[in-house]
Amino acid sequence: MKDAFTSRKYIIIAFVVLAALLLIIRLFVIQVVKDTYRLSADNNVLRYVTQYPARGLIYDRNNKLMVFNQAAYDLMVVPAQVTSIDTAEFCELLEITKSSFNDRMNSAISYSRRAPSVFLKQISAESYARFQEKLFLYPGFYVQPRTLRKYSKPIAGHILGYVSEVDESVVKNDPYYKAGDYIGKLGIEEAYEKNLRGKRGVTIYLVDVYSRIKGSYADGRMDTVAVQGEDIISTVDMDLQEYGELLMKNKSGSIVALEPKTGEVLTLVSSPNYDPGLLVGRIRSENFMKLSADTSLPLFNRAIQAKYPPGSTFKPINGLIGLQEKVIEPSTLFGCSNGYLFIGCHSHSSPLDLIHGISNSCNAYFCQVYRRILENPAYPNVEAAYVKWKEYLDQFGFGQRLGIEFTNELTGFVPSPSYYDRFYGKNGWKALTIISMAIGQGEVETTPLQMANMTAAIANRGYYYTPHIVKSIGAEGKPDGKYLLKHTIEIDSANFESIVLGMEEAVNGGAGATARSAAIRNIIVCGKTGTAENPHGKDHSVFIAFAPKDDPKIAIAVYVENAGFGASYAAPIASLMIEKYLTGEVTNKYSEQRMLELNLIAGE
């Protein structure tokens, strides 16, 4: 009996010791190992001050700084600590009204009397310098540093995008962001937000029950340092971008220039445009509303969102497909009697071969080429031949997003057979029904970016790289791997030679050449004019080109809305851009002055 009692006694003692040991271990973990538990328990006596990182800088392809940061400050307030102050002087220093002061204070009180909240956002460095000297006179107020974007030049708004405060939907859907954070919108700022934004830090202070700071918590051991965002080298030539925007001033339209061998975007102009500096700081919301209400649509990125008929700039594509499908040869002759059926044409010599069909931009020539493509006896019917024709267009990137980093890129449009079936019925349409597609009219729609990409593919004699706007990220970064993949078009490289010769002849040929206004001394430019029909007014002036002929370094597409013939305005602008990029200067001062002074926007 005694042995049983002794045995139970030891079991109870062991149980008590074990429980005590477990309790001690738990307390040790909570108090020493996991100090964050105590931190959580002390939330009511701690103040967390976010240390916002500086966003990464953005440079052009020549390492010229495009976007950097400037200091700004958020004025915070703890209403319970605010005593009698000189509100008149306070408002004067911060350039706000007494009514605004009262509204902001009431808003802060409704949030919390003892927790800090933002009283005034994004105070400039200049205003802060004045205010800082007297900050001690205003208990309850303190400043939290931020940064705002600053631009080396007032250009490239559509390329760069802008930065704005996150809204509720962003905070809800992405756990990284908190109310008061900033996020990139459109352009490079949005596409590379995760690289540019950096990483937030935090400083933790001990505060008393009145939210007065008593010192650093845990001697700063729990603080974290903000990490600056990664810098980005863009593909853009800032000088060329600035020049393109000058040439397009007082005009609506777009210029897109690519480096053919890489797909790098040299310039992307959308006009009318806007100064990106307008969308910075406290004036951002007001200016955004003004820009949104502007009927000239400065926020609309025509380079990647506007859909135009390509017009005669589309003829080289039909020529290439005709050669590949073996329905024509370079020597194939077609006559022209000022047009083909209901499609007119200008006066020129006749008949013409393929090279001179391109250089003279003969509508009749390419109507007959297109008809042969669709009535090719190698296919069972017109629909099957059309499907093959559309496959070639798909390979050039038409009718789809090319994949540039910008989220607002549109697809353009190339009809499928079912599109025509809905209008004409199954087997109810034929080549002549859609013959206007031969000259880039009808239903086909393309963006300026797609036309520049097509031109790059011709310059490369059959391949292209996806257009992209960023060259490298961070110290050793490279663009996304998809921008390093070559897209090969299933057209023999030999077939491109006749097209290139036709485009060379269009610019540098004799009588009948339609693009002589684009010629540059000592540089062989290959180009093609276009006049895109516009149902809402005067036709659009279009031009595509690349240069030099045998070692292409630039491919360009220019659209000038409501400007008529391609040779009148789009071709001279493209010529000036090409010479500026290849040589650094412009020799045709007369053409330059004419384009700079030209105003095609009604009412100005």
Q: Each residue of 76-128: pLDDT tens digit?
A: 998 988 888 899 999 999 989 999 999 999 999 998 888 888 999 888 888 88
Instruction: Write the class of the CATH domain 303-515.
Output: alpha beta
Q: Are 266 and 257 in contact (CB under 8 A)?
A: yes
Domains of the chain, residue spans:
47-234, 303-515
Mean pLDDT of 499-507: 97
Q: Is 432 exposed, middle or buried (0-12, 13-18, 19+ CB in 10 A)?
A: middle
Question: What does DSSP assign to residue 63?
Answer: S
Question: Which contiguous run of DSSP H or E holds residue 110?
Answer: helix 98-111
Q: Is the pLDDT of residue 603 over 70?
A: no
Q: Is 180 left (phi over 0), alpha (psi -120 to 50) or beta?
A: left
Q: May I ask the CATH architecture of the domain 47-234?
A: Alpha-Beta Complex (3.90)
Torsion of Cα atoms, 325 then 330 then 336 then 342, to 10°: 20
**Of 35-39, 48-52, 383-387, which has the strongest mean pLDDT?**
383-387
Q: What percentage of residues in the chain have a pLDDT greater than 70?
A: 94
| Distance, C-alpha 274 to centroid of its chain | 14
* Helix residue ranges, H only, 425-512: 448-459, 493-508
Mean pLDDT of the chain: 90
Please confirm whether the linkage preceding 548 is cis (ω < 30° from 0). yes
Q: Is 517 exposed, middle or buried (0-12, 13-18, 19+ CB in 10 A)?
A: buried
Q: Is the pLDDT of residue 28 over 80?
A: no
pLDDT at position 372, please?
Answer: 97
Mean pLDDT of 486-502: 97
* Helix residue ranges, H only, 426-530: 448-459, 493-508
Torsion of Cα atoms, 29 then 30 then 32 then 33, to 10°: 50
pLDDT at position 346, please?
Answer: 85
pLDDT at position 30, please?
Answer: 58
SS percent in the chain: helix, strand, coil, step 5: 40, 20, 35
Question: Which contiguous run of DSSP H or E holds residue 265?
Answer: strand 264-271
Closest CA to 337 of 349, 328, 327: 349
User: d(Cα 50, Cα 201) in Å, to the nearest integer?
Assistant: 6
pLDDT at position 538, please?
Answer: 84
To which residue do tokens 């900050």 refer? 135
Structure tokens at 182: 């900033």
Looking at the DSSP bridge assignments, the partners of residue 599 are none
- The helix/strand/coil state of 342 is coil
Q: Predicted confidence band at 569 (pLDDT cuts at 50, 70, 90)?
A: very high
Mean pLDDT of 501-530: 93
pLDDT at position 32, please?
Answer: 55
Residue ranges of E strands in 436-582: 463-465, 470-473, 486-488, 526-532, 540-547, 554-560
Q: Is the pLDDT of residue 11 over 90?
A: no
Which residues neighbour 374 within 8 Å (Cβ) at sequence distance 6 or greater?
382, 385, 386, 389, 430, 431, 434
pLDDT at position 39, please?
Answer: 45
Q: Predicted confidence band at 521 (pLDDT cuts at 50, 70, 90)?
A: very high
Torsion of Cα atoms, 319 then 322 then 324 then 330, to 10°: -60
Mean pLDDT of 27-46: 56
Mean pLDDT of 511-517: 88
User: d(Cα 298, Cα 204) in Å, to the nearest integer?
Assistant: 44
Span 243-285, pLDDT tens digits: 999 999 999 999 999 999 999 999 999 999 999 999 998 888 8
Pairing assessment for the beta strands 58-59 and 232-234 based on DSSP bridges: parallel
Q: Is 227 exposed, middle or buried (0-12, 13-18, 19+ CB in 10 A)?
A: middle
Structure tokens at 303: 């380079």
Q: Are 55 and 196 in contact (CB under 8 A)?
A: yes
Q: Are 118 and 104 in contact (CB under 8 A)?
A: no
Q: Predicted confidence band at 41 (pLDDT cuts at 50, 70, 90)?
A: very low
User: d(Cα 93, Cα 113) in Å, to the nearest integer?
Assistant: 24
Please indicate whether residue 289 or residue 214 has the higher confidence score (pLDDT): 289
Closest CA to 190 of 231, 160, 168: 160
Radius of gyration of the CA atoms of the chain, in A? 33
Closest CA to 458 of 571, 321, 362: 321
Q: Predicted confidence band at 8 (pLDDT cuts at 50, 70, 90)?
A: low
Span 134-188, pLDDT tens digits: 888 898 898 888 889 999 999 999 999 999 989 989 999 999 998 888 999 999 9
Span 61-83, pLDDT tens digits: 999 999 999 988 899 998 988 88
Sign of the torsion formed by the C-alpha atoms of 392, 398, 401 and 406? positive
- C-alpha separations of 598 from 257, 526, 573, 602 in Å: 21, 25, 11, 12
Mean pLDDT of 189-193: 96
Which residues neighbour 585 within 8 Å (Cβ) at sequence distance 6 or greater?
579
Span 361-374, pLDDT tens digits: 999 999 999 999 99
pLDDT at position 40, please?
Answer: 47
Q: What are phi and psi of 126, to 5 degrees?
A: -65, -45
Q: Predicted confidence band at 31 (pLDDT cuts at 50, 70, 90)?
A: low
Structure tokens at 35: 């100090």
